[in-house]
Amino acid sequence: MGRHLPGGHALDSARPEAFDALLLPGGVINPDTLRTDERAVSFAKAFFDAGKPVASICHGPWTLIEAGAARGRRLTSWTSLKTDLRNAGAEWVDEEVVVDQGLATSRKPDDIPAFNREVIRMFANAGKPSRQAAAE
């Protein structure tokens, strides 16, 4: 069904400033493991602090909660996270993909085509200087 792909960097050696965007995985086990790892939570938080784009699907928003990045955002997730996200100060909606304040979220595998379109759009310009910044 799935396949294992090696990561490019171990979390201990990865530095947020070396990356332009972050994709948080879905499923249950990966997000549950990430949200309990202080290094992973700090890594994710750094992207929000720097205003870099982040995408998350399914149970991935658990890490957003731990990073303090859900509050004040409109987002979606796997339905069972609705209460967790609302308790964390987010506005949870039942839509296939939501983009708010540099964060793209999606609910489930059926939503992957819409999620991918938004993630590609967001990430395509990540790390590139804006036209205004280039003109200054």
Per-residue pLDDT for 63 more than 90?
A: yes
pLDDT tens for 32-46 read 999 999 999 999 999
Name the residues annotated as catalytic. Answer: 58
What does the alpha-carbon distance between residue 91 and residue 13 come to, in Å, rounded to a whole number?
Answer: 34
Phi, psi (rounded to 5 degrees) for 22: -135, 135
Least confident of 9-23, 26-40, 95-109: 9-23
> 65: pLDDT confidence band, cut at 50, 70 and 90?
very high
First CA to last CA distance, the chain: 50
User: Across residues 110-134, what is the average pLDDT?
Assistant: 83
- Count CB neighbours of 34 within 10 A: 22
3 state SS of 120:
helix
Question: In this model, does residue 89 exceed pLDDT 60?
Answer: yes
At residue 2, the pLDDT reads 64
Q: What does the alpha-carbon distance between residue 127 and residue 130 come to, in Å, rounded to a whole number?
A: 9
Beta-strand pair 91-92/103-106: unpaired
CA distance 133 to 122: 18
Arithmetic mean of pLDDT over the chain: 90
pTM equals 0.86
Which three-class secondary structure state does DSSP give residue 29? helix
Neighbouring CB atoms inside 10 A of 42's CB total 14
